[in-house]
Amino acid sequence: MTETSTQTRSVVVEREIAHAPEKIWRALTQPHLMAEWLMKTNFEPTAGQRFDFTADWGSVACQVLAIEPHTTLSYKWDAMGLESVVTWTLTPSAKGTHLRMEQAGFRPDQQQAYQGAQYGWPKFFDGMEQLLARVD
Amino acid sequence: MPNAQDLLFKTLADPTRRTIFERLCREGELTVGGLTAQAGVSQPAVSKHLGVLKQAGLVQDRQEGRQTHYSARPGALSPLLDWTRQMAGFWENRFDDLEDLLKRMDQ
C-alpha cells in the first residue's frame, strides 16, 4: 500500500506477518539481522543514537528518534540531501503481527531540516508538478 | 538508488541553483546576463551554476551570436518526482527480504 500526497510525500508499506512481534523486533534492531534484509549498519537501540546504513550505492545517515521495544521504532533517514523519518509500528494480530512502515519527508513543518534550503522542497515539488502538468 | 536521482537532488539542493532553474521554467529562455540581474550573485557564479544544471540535464543552451541562451528542461525532473513510487518499491522489496529472513530465524 502506498499513500502519496504533495504535502507530506510519505510512503507507507503494511503487511500481516506470520511471526511474533518479538521476533520481528530482533530483525528490526539487531545489526547482523538488519544486514540480511535491509542494509549493513552500526545501529544501536538507544534514542538519540546516530548510525548509518551502507550499501553499494551509498549510505544513509540515521538517528534513532523513538524506540519502544516490540512496538515502535523510528529513525531519521537522511540520504541524497533529503531528510525523512522512517517509523516502524508493530501491532500483534491474529496471524502474528501487523507490521507498518512509514517513510515521511518533505513536510512543510520540517523545512528547517533541509539545511541551506531557504525555499523548501515541498513548495518546489508542488511548483514542479504543476509545471509538468502544464508541459505535458 | 539510481545515480540520476542522486545527481538531481544534489544539483537542486543549492537554493541559488534552484532559483535559477525555476526562473528558466517560469520565464523561458534567458541569457547569463538576464539571469544575473536578479540572482543576487556574480555572473561567473551564475555561469558555474548553469554548468552544473546543464550537467544534470536540467538546462540546455543555445548559441546565438555572442550570446548563450539558456532554457529549462523540466522533463529531466521526472526521476525526482518518482521518488515516492521508487521508495515504495524499495520498501516492498525489503519487506520480502525481511519475511525470508524471519522464516530462517529461530523463534
Instruction: Report residue A34 as a C-alpha cell.
Output: 538488519
Q: Do A27 and B5 touch (CB under 8 A)?
A: no
Distances from the Cα of A65 to the Cα of A73, A88, A103, B40, angstroms:
8, 11, 13, 38
Which domains are seen in chain A, by residue range? 10-107 (3.30.530.20)
pLDDT above 70 covers what percent of chain A? 68
C-alpha distances (whole Å) from B76 to each of A19, A68, B82, B97 are: 43, 42, 11, 32
Q: Report residue B1's pLDDT band, with 50, 70 and 90 as the boundaries.
A: very low
Contacts of B5 in chain A (CB under 8 A): 80
Q: Do A13 and B1 touch (CB under 8 A)?
A: no
- Of the given ranges (A2-11, A32-41, A85-94), which has the lowest mean pLDDT? A2-11
Interface check A89 vs B, CB under 8 A: no
Q: What DSSP letter does each residue of chain B carry, written as one string?
A: --HHHHHHHHHHTSHHHHHHHHHHHHH--EEHHHHHHHHSS-HHHHHHHHHHHHHTTSEEEEEETTEEEEEE-GGGGHHHHTHHHHHHHHHHHHHHHHHHHHHHS--
- Residue ranges per structural domain of chain B: 3-104
**Which among B13, B84, B92 has the least Cβ separation from residue A81?**
B13
Nearest to A6 by CA among B8, B86, B81: B81
A119 touches chain B (CB under 8 A): yes
Give pLDDT, residue A118. 34
Residue A6 has pLDDT above 70, yes or no: no
**pLDDT band per the 50, 70, 90 thresholds, residue A103:** confident
**In CATH terms, is domain B3-104 a member of 1.10.10.10?**
yes
Residue of A nearest to B83 (CA): A9
Which residues, listed in sequence order, are joined to residue B72 by a DSSP beta bridge? B59
This prediction has a pTM of 0.59
pLDDT band at A32 (very low <50, low <70, confident <90, very high): very high
- ipTM topping 0.85: no
A130 pLDDT exceeds 80?
no
Residues from B contacting A (CB-CB < 8 Å) are 1, 3, 5-6, 9-10, 12-15, 18-19, 22, 25, 74-75, 77-78, 80-81, 83-85, 87-88, 91-92, 94-95, 97-102, 105, 107
In tens, the pLDDT along B35-90 reads 998 778 899 999 999 999 999 999 999 999 989 999 988 778 776 666 677 778 88
Predicted local confidence at residue B82, as pLDDT: 65
